[in-house]
Amino acid sequence: MNGFEKRAQEIKERIIATTLEMLKTTGPKRIRIADISQAAGVSQVTIYNYFGSKEALIRDTVKMFAEKTFRDFEAYMNEKHSFKEKLAHILVLEKESYTQFPPSLFKELLSSDPELASYIDEQYKQHTIPLSLRIFQEGKDSGEISDEVSAENVLALMHIYMSQYETILEMAQQSGDMEKFFGGMVHMFFYGLCGKP
């Protein structure tokens, strides 16, 4: 990469980082290119030259956020951790993701951009599900998951958790001790209401 390409890449990354910060507090419809340009310290023309439109910029920003989140997730899952540690890490990542991107905002982004929704769905099918199944099998092989439990059971329970995560997150915040709350959720996931380790 020559000096010009490196500079161009740095500018693009700064624009995307600025857009990501704005998305955390402002809906995509209310974000203006003028605001991004001022906050990123670049001209509006530069943004249009790199991304073409506000919609394309937001799409690229969300894609990069999703890709980084998955890379970090995959890197942790490839390390030597127990199934319980991996599940706890998934819940922590979900908490962090939803703190940065509230579910309502993410739904708005996906419903207003079919191309982005298709991309996220494809990533989920091609990467998230196979990785989840691999983690499940590792948990089976290590004896951490009962023979009575199938991959479909674990995926169904995780789907229930994730589909209700906005409500769970609100309850965790209201509890006053989010770490303890999520610790209890992990315990319940593994041992049920009455079970013991």
The SS3 call for residue 140 is: helix
Cα distance between residue 189 and residue 131, in whole Å: 19
54-191 folds as: Tetracycline Repressor; domain 2 (1.10.357)
CATH tag, 1-52 = 1.10.10.60
Here the tokens at position 51 are: 């991304």
pLDDT of 196 strictly over 70: no
Cα distance between residue 151 and residue 156, in whole Å: 8
Here the tokens at position 65 are: 């956020």
Here the tokens at position 34 are: 């003028």
| pLDDT given at position 197 | 52
195 confidence band (pLDDT: 50, 70, 90): low
Mean pLDDT, all residues of the chain: 84
55-87 pLDDT, tens per residue?
999 999 989 988 888 888 888 888 888 888 887
Where in the chain are all domains bearing CATH 1.10.357? Answer: 54-191
| pLDDT given at position 61 | 93
- Residue pair 32/50 in contact (Cβ under 8 Å)? The answer is no
13-30 pLDDT, tens per residue?
999 999 999 988 888 888
Cα distance between residue 88 and residue 187, in whole Å: 9
- Top pLDDT among 191 and 58 is at 58
111-124 pLDDT, tens per residue?
888 898 899 889 88
Where in the chain are all domains bearing CATH 1.10.10.60? Answer: 1-52
Cα distance between residue 131 and residue 19, in whole Å: 29
Distance, C-alpha 128 to centroid of its chain: 11
The SS3 call for residue 196 is: coil
Task: Return the minimum-mean-pLDDT range out of 3-7, 12-16, 102-106, 154-158.
Answer: 102-106
- Residue pair 86/134 in contact (Cβ under 8 Å)? The answer is no
What average pLDDT does range 164-169 have in this prediction?
77
pTM metric for this prediction: 0.75
Cα distance between residue 40 and residue 18, in whole Å: 6
